[in-house]
Amino acid sequence: MHARGLRWTPQRRTLIEVLSRTDGHVTGAELVERCREHDPATTPSTVYRTLDVLEGLGLVSHSHGVNGREEFHVLPEAIHGHLHCAGCGQAWEISLEEAGALVDSIQRSRGFAVDVTHLSIAGVCAGCAAAGEA
Ligand SMILES: [Zn+2]
Ligand SMILES: [Zn+2]
Ligand SMILES: [Zn+2]
């Protein structure tokens, strides 16, 4: 952050601390809440602006849930997309390999390069499908 001439403010430090203790997926609102547990003065705009900066540095990435809500990932981690079940609301990660056939076919037919980190597929999971048939 110093390299980019950014000020290492206490609120930014708090966010980085919170992120370093975060596993998997977390929404911006959850991050704001967790930062506020440490520093009640944390404002959402500071958190979102800092997330933007961290994303530019490649330390954080975001994807979207089916409702468009941003979910943040702490890097480094493998590039992946997401499956969201409309029945139970659970989400799963899909690997580059799993998404490969879809990504290749879209690339071939449309010349469109899919950003797998932004790939969120809505549907019904095996558990919910089985419950629905029973
Ligand atoms: Zn996005
Ligand atoms: Zn389900
Ligand atoms: Zn993910």
Rounded distance from Cα 89 to ligand 3 centre (Å): 15
Rounded distance from Cα 47 to ligand 2 centre (Å): 32
pLDDT score recorded for residue 78? 79
Which ligand has the nearest atom to the CA of 132? 2
Rounded distance from Cα 91 to ligand 2 centre (Å): 9
Instruction: Work out the average pLDDT over 33-51.
Output: 93
Instruction: Work out the average pLDDT over 114-128.
Output: 94
45 pLDDT higher than 90: yes
* Alpha helix segments (H runs only) across the chain: 10-20, 28-38, 44-56, 96-110, 126-133
Q: Calculate ∠ Cα 59-62-66, nearest 5°.
A: 165
pLDDT tens digits, residue range 54-98? 999 888 999 998 888 899 988 756 789 999 999 999 999 999 999
Which ligand has the nearest atom to the CA of 72? 3
Identity of the residue numbered 62: H
CA torsion, ordered 42, 70, 116, 90, to nearest 10 deg: 120
Instruction: Work out the average pLDDT over 3-18.
Output: 78
Residues 6+ apart with CB under 8 A from 133: none
